[in-house]
């Protein structure tokens, strides 16, 4: 997605050797007009597929999924929760996710009420790094008996193993921008 590459070059910045910061439009301030373009592009990529629900993970995935859902006949958006809440139903699907970026393991959970057998689920998220968050969501989808249609990612870091990890599981990955490398603080696209 050309406009996304341009936006990353214009507004993004590099932190350390492998972190791309896009706080001005995706991870802190949110550019709604631009998220609409992203939502339309996800619909274009998955227009042949039946999608009953969009699943994401808090926090940054929620805005992306919510805007995208409007281009998928307003299907519901469900987000996996990272924080244990007293109010969350006791009946949950849960799984552990190890984050290499953060160097720690965390648990994600979705109430059994909101994922059902036979539903077709599109997963969306902001970044694909090592793929562990999406693998966790796939695990939860499998527990529920729903089907994973595919994964829509805004920015894939092509120099990390996420795509391989997911494709090895037979998961279809559609990324709107793929960063091939970060060299001397500069972003290079595939």
Which residue has its beta carbon closest to Na ion? 60
Beta bridge partners of 178: 156
Q: Annotation-wise, does 139 bind a ligand? A: no
> CB-wise, 52 or 107, nearer to ligand G4P?
107
Q: Annotation-wise, does 172 bind a ligand? A: no
Answer yes or no whether residue 163 interacts with ligand G4P by CB under 6 A. no
**Only segment of 39-47, 113-121, 127-135, 139-147 that touches ligand G4P (CB under 6 A):** 127-135
Q: Annotation-wise, does 59 bind a ligand? A: no
> CB-wise, 83 or 145, nearer to ligand G4P?
83
Q: Annotation-wise, does 138 bind a ligand? A: no
**Only segment of 18-26, 40-48, 68-76, 86-94 that touches ligand G4P (CB under 6 A):** 18-26
Q: Annotation-wise, does 87 bind a ligand? A: no
List 162, 171, 175, 177, residue binding ligand G4P (CB under 6 A): 162
d(CA 77, CA 129): 22
Task: Indicate the Cα dihedral angle 82, 85, 90, 91, nearest 10°.
Answer: -30
Kindly report the three-state secondary structure assignment for every residue of the chain.
Answer: CHHHHHHHHHHCEEECCCEEECHHHHHCCCCHHHHHHHHHHHHHHCCCCCCCEEEEECCHHHHHHHHHHCCCCCCCEEEEECCCCCCCCCCEEEEEEEECCCCEEEEEEEEHHHCCCCCEEEEEEEEECCCHHHHHHHHHHHHHCCEEEEEEEEEEECCCCHHHHHHCCCCCEEEEEEEEEEECCEEEEC
List 41, 119, 126, 156, residue binding Na ion (CB under 5 A): 126
> CB-wise, 76 or 100, nearer to ligand G4P?
100
Given Na ion, ligand G4P, none, residue 158, with its beta carbon under 5 to 8 Å by kind, binds: none
Binding residues for Na ion (CB under 5 A) = 60, 126
Binding residues for ligand G4P (CB under 6 A) = 19-22, 27, 57, 59-61, 99-102, 126-133, 157, 162
């Amino acid at each position: 997605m050309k406009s996304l590459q341009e936006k990353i070059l214009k507004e993004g910045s590099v932190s350390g050797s492998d972190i791309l910061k896009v706080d001005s439009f995706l991870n802190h301030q949110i550019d709604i007009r631009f998220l609409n373009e992203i939502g339309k592009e996800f619909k274009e990529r998955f227009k042949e597929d039946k999608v009953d629900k969009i699943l994401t993970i808090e926090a940054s995935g929620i805005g992306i999924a919510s805007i995208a859902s409007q281009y998928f006949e307003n299907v519901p958006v469900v987000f996996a929760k990272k924080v244990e809440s007293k109010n969350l139903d006791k009946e949950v699907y849960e799984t552990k996710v190890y984050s290499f970026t953060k160097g720690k393991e965390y648990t994600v959970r979705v109430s059994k009420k909101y994922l059902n057998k036979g539903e077709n689920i599109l997963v969306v998220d902001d970044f694909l790094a090592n793929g562990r968050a999406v693998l966790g969501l796939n695990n939860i989808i499998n527990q529920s008996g729903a089907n994973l249609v595919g994964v829509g990612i805004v920015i894939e870091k092509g120099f990390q193993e996420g795509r391989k990890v997911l494709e090895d599981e037979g998961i279809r990955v559609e990324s709107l921008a793929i960063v091939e490398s970060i060299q001397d603080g500069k972003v290079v696209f595939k």
